[in-house]
Amino acid sequence: MSSINTSPHLNPLSLQRLGLMHAHLGKPVRVPRRRRVSAAEHVRSTQRRTTDELDFSSPNRGSRPAIEIGGLWMRACAVDEGDVFVLKAGDGDRLHVEASGRGETPWSEDPADPSRVYIEPIEDAAFAVARGDGTGVVIVHEKGKGIYAYHFEPDPQAAPEPPARARRPGTEQPLSCPAPQWLSDDDETWLHQLVQTRVARGGLFNFAVAVGVAMRLRVAGPEERAQGLAALLSGRPMPTTHAPHDWYRALDAEQRQRIESAGVSHVNALHDAFGDLRNGLDIDAARWRDRLLAALHVRDDLEGLRSLALAVGEGEMMLRSIARLDREVGRFVCSLPRPVGLVDERLVRVASLDPGAWWASMVRAPA
Amino acid sequence: MRLVDAFCDIQPVGPDAPAAKRDRLQTAARILLQELEDLARREMRSSDFSAADRDTVVQTVAYRLVKAGPRGRREGDPQRDGEVRGWLSIAVRNASRDLIRRRARFAWPTMDRDSRQPADPVERLRAGEPTDDTPLAEQVDRRRAEALLEQSRRTLYALTVPAIVARKNGRSPGAGDRFKETIDELRRAVRDSLSIEDLARQSLEADGMDVDPSKIAARRAALDKRFQRAREACLEAIDADLRGGAIDEDQVRATRLVLQHELYVQQRSDGVVAKARRKPRTDMRGRRTAGVREIKDNSGG
């Protein structure tokens, strides 16, 4: 292995941004392109597949073999026209992602599985996905050439520090820091913890999700309700209720666009997560139920963002992608043949407040 | 402004909102509140609810919509005024249940969908029971809702399922026949109130295999997958018919209700039904059966 970088997108500055100044890169491996498949070929390949096989095949989106590099499996996801990949550490090792490129480079983690991440290597973007031992993969989309992957290892001569550090999208502080009063103003412990935990994860996207959750799930007291509705009926501004919308509106366009890009990434990840749930259907298995619940929570995270984007009249791509997710995944959830009986306080609240929320249709309250 | 527009657009008003927007939202709020007041009077007729309770529920539901809005046109959401009324009536019932639960006056059915008993949706409509089917009846009058459900049931089994069978057999010989067997198995299971556990045991016994916990679990998972695929195929066909204009939204909703009541397995055995039949049942060929006794006889037990 040598430290040769053979890509203009892996110049020293790029490597520095990815935290890879003290790492050795392997030779580039071209990520296979998608190829067209007929419906019959797709059916045959699907019938042959087991849940362990990672090749991707779809009658609409073609097929693409998985590749293994540096101990990580990389395969395409069942989404969109773009190239979205899932990377998984076969041994369950936690993965860390560093990204560089134009704007906010979309990637997301799997909330139920720290050894799995999703990336969308748009043109001129680069990702470093690292394992706990400092080895990993750099993925680069070279404009006009394709997507390449490089295995890397830490330079043994360098200081003992993992070359890629975990960083969440939007690491700059959100507008309000510390969290504004209206974001902490709830007297239900579980909701308070949910919101504050999300804020503590850092990043603009997580803050926006926390805002959306508080906005939707907090139950207002009688005085606030009466005052708010009286104000609305008389055409006056509503005290405090508009705070989440004003917060979102006050972000600059680039910040909102980054939130929406991250939202699209999460939708893409959800398509894949639900695909796995469908292929590995096992209603009584604890792990399957945990993964289902985690996926349903992510859908609920997106609902608040959806409302905020609608309020400012933006986020068309995110709104469309959520609508498509609801159509396809909603149908899968409706097709489950018996009660799943997930126990979850958050989704019970959602079901109570929003009868049409398909992602809350399988829950019951904790005892 | 229509009710559905008010439902989709309602949102909080900030200090910087232009006058036109404030006027529009003011109108939306009035429309929603009027509708909610009418629904609360209808849904909360019981003497357990005072006028103040109805006001509380109306304000609760209205404020929730405002605070979380705008809702926009979400996939699967109500598209017409009648459907919005159905949605709002469920929201009012949920809020009234929360009110009572907080007071702990008397036991009230929870929203636990696992405890929902499979009962013919048409029978429940006739009995005037408030159920998840009620939104359908809210949109159309009850007689039409009954007719719709009956028609949807006939269409599902006489047209939709055979079409799926033919399509699947065309792609892969025998696949459609296996799909039909799965649908029949599901119908029988629901009709005879069998749980997935019962079905797994019967299936193992029919294959001459030992009935031990690990095999039951594996067979349960296999049955779940088969049933899920079959239901999904029906749902896809219904959606395709809607897109093609063969059916309308009301028929889609009614057909989904039929699926949910007739092709949906209970979590656990209904011990009462397993011991004694309440009323005679017929098998797929229209013969009266002894139900449980016949199952036991078939299994050699």
Do B67 and A348 count as a contact with CB atoms less than 8 A apart? no
As for the ipTM of the complex, it is 0.74
Do B59 and A222 count as a contact with CB atoms less than 8 A apart? yes
Instruction: Show which of residues 35-74 on chain B sit within 8 Å of chain A, judged by CB atoms.
Output: 56, 59-60, 62-64, 66-72, 74
Instruction: Show which of residues 206-265 on chain B sit within 8 Å of chain A, judged by CB atoms.
Output: 217, 220-221, 224-225, 227-229, 231-232, 235-236, 239, 256, 263-265
Find the CB nearest B76 among A241, A341, A356: A356
Tens digit of pLDDT per residue, chain B (301 long)? 999 999 999 998 888 888 898 899 999 999 999 999 999 998 888 877 889 999 999 999 999 999 888 998 888 888 889 889 988 988 998 888 888 777 654 433 333 343 343 345 555 555 555 455 455 655 556 677 788 888 889 999 999 999 999 999 999 999 999 999 999 999 999 889 899 999 999 999 999 998 899 999 999 999 999 999 999 999 999 989 888 888 887 788 888 888 888 899 876 554 333 333 333 344 444 444 433 333 333 333 3
Find the CB nearest B221 among A228, A281, A355: A281
d(CA B61, CA A355): 11
Do A338 and B75 count as a contact with CB atoms less than 8 A apart? no
B259, B136, B149, B73: which is closest to A334 by C-alpha? B259
Q: Residue A149: beta bridge partners?
A: A29, A139
Q: Which residues contact B3 (CB under 8 A, 6 or more apart)?
A: B31, B32, B35, B81, B84, B85
d(CA A214, CA A304): 9
Residues A155-196 pLDDT 10s: 655 444 333 333 333 333 344 444 566 676 666 888 888 888
A-chain CB neighbours of B43 within 8 Å are: none
Q: Which residues contact A229 (CB under 8 A, 6 or more apart)?
A: B29, B33, B59, B62, B63, B66
Q: B58-97 as b/e, with b when 16 or more CB fall inside 10 Å? A: bbbbbbbbbbbbbbbebeebbeebbbbbbbbbbbbbbbbb
Work out the minimum CA distance from B79 to partner chain A, whole angstroms.
Answer: 12
